[in-house]
């Protein structure tokens, strides 16, 4: 019997690169996401990897290395091939599965949480809504004026 590999938390750039390589390999092979990444975006992983590494280093470790516009890239892609909730949900599912298969700990869980937030925000923004969670709350039933006011 072989002992299961003990998973460590995401600790820095090498771990993020490992996570991204594993994740994107899964995306490229996925029936729903593969065509978007391979045919539409024609993503060159080796060229894209430093950008995504900077992004996740900034998100998880506040390095400030990512200075691009995440929304614009996805809006441009959305104009060529509409990104639906099914695409974004699948992206999030693969990200969550890959992250938890490779790592365990507070930073790994932060990566999952941040991906959930990013996915939710992208879905709203790509379909013409504000990304702020506050917008959803303030537009709801809770803020309607009381009768007689």
Average pLDDT over residues 13-37: 95
What value, to the nearest 5°, has the Cα angle with vertex 125 and ends 115 and 106? 15
Does residue 37 or residue 9 have the better pLDDT? 9
Coil, helix or strand for 132? Answer: coil
Q: What is the pLDDT of residues 84-98, one digit of tens each?
A: 888 889 999 999 999
Q: What is the pLDDT of residues 126-140, one digit of tens each?
A: 877 655 554 444 444
pLDDT at 11 over 80: yes
144: left (phi over 0), alpha (psi -120 to 50) or beta: beta
pTM of the model: 0.78
Q: How confident is the model at residue 57 (pLDDT cuts 50, 70, 90)?
A: very high
Q: Which of 119, 124, 108, 102 is nearest to 56 (CA)?
A: 108
Q: Going from the N-terminus, what domains does the chain have, and what CATH number goes with each?
A: 13-131 (1.10.490.10)
């Amino acid at each position: 019997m072989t002992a299961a590999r003990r998973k460590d938390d995401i600790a820095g750039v090498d771990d993020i690169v490992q996570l991204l390589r594993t994740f994107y390999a899964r995306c490229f092979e996925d029936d729903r996401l593969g065509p978007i990444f391979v045919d539409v975006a024609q993503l060159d992983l080796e060229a894209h990897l430093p950008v995504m590494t900077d992004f996740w280093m900034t998100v998880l470790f506040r390095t400030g290395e990512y200075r691009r516009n995440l929304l614009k890239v996805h809006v441009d892609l959305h104009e060529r091939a509409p990104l639906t909730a099914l695409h974004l949900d699948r992206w999030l599912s693969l990200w969550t599965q890959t992250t938890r298969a490779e790592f365990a700990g507070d930073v790994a869980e932060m990566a999952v949480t941040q991906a959930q937030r990013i996915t939710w925000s992208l879905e709203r923004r790509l379909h013409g809504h504000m990304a702020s969670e506050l917008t959803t709350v303030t537009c709801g039933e809770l803020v309607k004026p009381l009768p007689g006011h």
